[in-house]
Structure 1
Amino acid sequence: MPHSKDYTGSVYGGLGHLLYAYSQAKGLVISEKLEQVQNLERFDFCLWRDLLTDIDQHLQIPALGLDIAEHVQPKHLGIIAYIALSCNTLGEALYRYHDFHRLIYDGSALELNIQDGYLALGWGYIPFHLTTQITQENAIALMVQFLKHFLEFKDIHIHEVHFIHPAPKNVAIYEEYFNCKVLFSQPKAQIIAPIHQLAKPIRQGDQTLQHLLMQQAHALLDKLPNSTQLDHRLQQAILTGLQKNQYQIAPIAKQLHMSVRQLQRHLQQQDTTYQQRMQEVRHLLAVQYLKDRHLSLQEIALLLGYSEQSAFQRAFKQWTSLTPQQWRQQQYAKITLCSSS
């Protein structure tokens, strides 16, 4: 078993409360280790993994991580849950989750990517020997369970779920739970959903409350050590900032815990500017959005932070020498040609 010094990640103390509630519901004797984490604000990821393993050894039921997730309450996820509840749409809730996921687990980056009409939310590299199938299935199931039961997205459609560990005997349990194709032995653990799902509204959205909660969440993040590389974090910050119409350099620098001058100096050393980097991200996103036939050009322009569709069209023509409509028609023609050949 690896020593804690081999791994610096920690989890939110509320997850310990979740395991306590689950153990009580299953009639298990509360272990000394589980008792000890009840008063901790955070505790080591390796201890979290060991607690899950202990429960698994006692119960020996398939897909334990999914079963535990059935008992989650907003209090078990802390401030990140209440921020999500204050959002206006599913997309905003997922982007906020991306921004503050380290408050739940700070050991690896949460990567958000858009490709071919799908949004993929996945965990960055964690040494294989430090995780188990239960830790990964629980992390994904907690997020899905929260979306369905507290944000009331009963009809949310997931395209695929990926796990890095080998397939267990009862794959059907996972496919029934997530209601989609579930793949194992994949490069990373992630959940993949169609982009057009992001517009689903949240009934109880409250932007004023969200602003107050985010101030508190940023203060909590400041206490955690940085665990991702700056350039990767910058691209992710611009990507999520565009979705929330907060993509100017000042809020992006703040999210990276830097001053505007520090960020500009970093980019200058790479012979680029913030505007150039933002346009690169916009270009990447535009190409992915245009592949989704559900999105109109006006909707894509708004998603990219353009107030006018004409501004998006001018920028796209500079990038590709084609208008968005021409590019989209060209792609459809390629698909039709491939289908007929």
Structure 2
Amino acid sequence: MQQLKDYTGTVYGGLGQLLYVYAQAKNLEISDKLQRVQNLERFEFQVWRELLDEINAQVHSSALGLEIAEYIQPKHLGVIAYITQSCDTLGEAITRYYDFHRLIYDGGPLKVEAQGDLLSIRWEVLPVDLTTQITDEIALAILVQFLRLYIQREYIQIEGVNFIQPAPKNIRIYQDFFNAPIKFSQAKVELLFSLNFFSAPCKNPDSTLQQIMQQQAQELLAKLPNSTQIDERLQHSILKGLQKNNYQIETIATQLQMSVRQLQRHLQQQETTYQERVQEIRQLLAKQYLQDPHLSLHEIAILLSYSEQSAFQRAFKLWSGLTPRQWRNSQLKNAKKPILITKL
């Protein structure tokens, strides 16, 4: 295992776009370095830190990380945004964030554990040449904004926020942003929540992903010879199940309040099977995701519940005769029409 002292890490390219959005909103000079990262899937953590320092040199903010985090949108979070929008509770969302956090922010190993009646979410301390107050605060602020995007605001109650750096002159801005007690010069960079917070509901009914899933389900239904209410519910259940990597026929049949045999019989009447239906949905989703240039092939494989990227690539070539990369490149050369999935 790589030792922490040798750790450099990377960040998701969407965070570079977040900095660009912030710089434009503040009418800042866009440096060549910031321009170069706009089309990258990932870039070095060292570059991330340098970009933050460049921006701070222009704005001289007492809490730059908090200001930047205010501009975050789901598209800046990549695969985590897609997965989380299918979660039902905060506990499930935090679990998915923990599973995939390094796909978005690889600034340090994330730890999630119970401390008495509190839940601690923290990052391991990095060498001093890799971390600053800005990198620490933006890591926490992005996570908090992530929660605010997907959790009903009235359920978000932070019990405490800890930083390892000395206290700045103005700590009121931190208290206002986190709405929680703030401590500096602590041993860890940490957020503290009540364990009861784990059951807080996500904003599923209003999420953009639900609208996308609705359209995807309708596209699939239009291809079926005899669409029924069962078929529509089946599409939604499989779409959501793939997001959670929990799409086995037993699970889906239970959600439909049917036995496995009843579901299989229904599909048999339509001259198809459950596995064929799953593959149809995977194919549709794959083409949607491939049109988002900010999602890597590895991330798309995760979204489609493939255990390995190579399995996704083999399946896609069977569907289309092209590799995922070839299909994506061919789409980029075609008409510049708006892409639904990038509206996230």
Could you say which TM-score interval applies, normalised by the shorter chain? 0.5 to 0.7
Give the letter for the 1:27 counterpart. N
TM-superposed CA distance for 1:176, in Å, is 1.5
TM-superposed CA distance for 1:221, in Å, is 7.1
Structure-2 change in CA distance of 1:67 and 1:218 (3 Å):
closer
TM-superposed CA distance for 1:211, in Å, is 4.2
1:1-341 aligned within 5 A: 7-204=7-204, 208-213=238-243, 220=298
Question: Deviation above 2 Å: which 4+ runs of structure 1?
Answer: 5-8, 105-108, 149-155, 205-223
Structure-2 change in CA distance of 1:39 and 1:222 (3 Å):
closer
Which piece of structure 1 moves more, 66-75 or 155-164?
Answer: 155-164
Structure-2 change in CA distance of 1:119 and 1:178 (3 Å):
same
Structure-2 change in CA distance of 1:210 and 1:168 (3 Å):
farther
> 2:297 & 2:188 partners in 1: Cα distance?
30
Structure-2 change in CA distance of 1:122 and 1:222 (3 Å):
farther
2:289 alignment partner in structure 1: none
- 1:192 partner SS: strand
> 2:85 & 2:70 partners in 1: Cα distance?
18
> 1:214 & 1:44 partners in 2: Cα distance?
29
Q: Which runs of 5+ in 2 are unaligned?
A: 211-236, 246-285, 287-294, 302-306, 309-344
Structure-2 change in CA distance of 1:218 and 1:113 (3 Å):
farther
TM-superposed CA distance for 1:106, in Å, is 2.8
Alignment TM-score, normalising by the size of structure 1: 0.60
- 1:191 partner SS: strand
> 1:161 & 1:63 partners in 2: Cα distance?
14
CA shift digits 1:104-124 (9 cap, x unpaired): 123532101102111001112
Aligned length: 222
> 2:296 & 2:28 partners in 1: Cα distance?
37
- 1:94 partner SS: helix
> 2:95 & 2:154 partners in 1: Cα distance?
20
- 1:134 partner SS: helix
Give the letter for the 2:73 counterpart. Q
- 2:51 partner SS: helix
Asked if the contact 2:163/2:189 (under 8 Å) is kept, the reply is: yes
1:289 alignment partner in structure 2: none
TM-superposed CA distance for 1:187, in Å, is 1.4
> 2:136 & 2:240 partners in 1: Cα distance?
28
Asked if the contact 2:122/2:190 (under 8 Å) is kept, the reply is: yes
> 2:49 & 2:296 partners in 1: Cα distance?
27
TM-superposed CA distance for 1:89, in Å, is 0.1
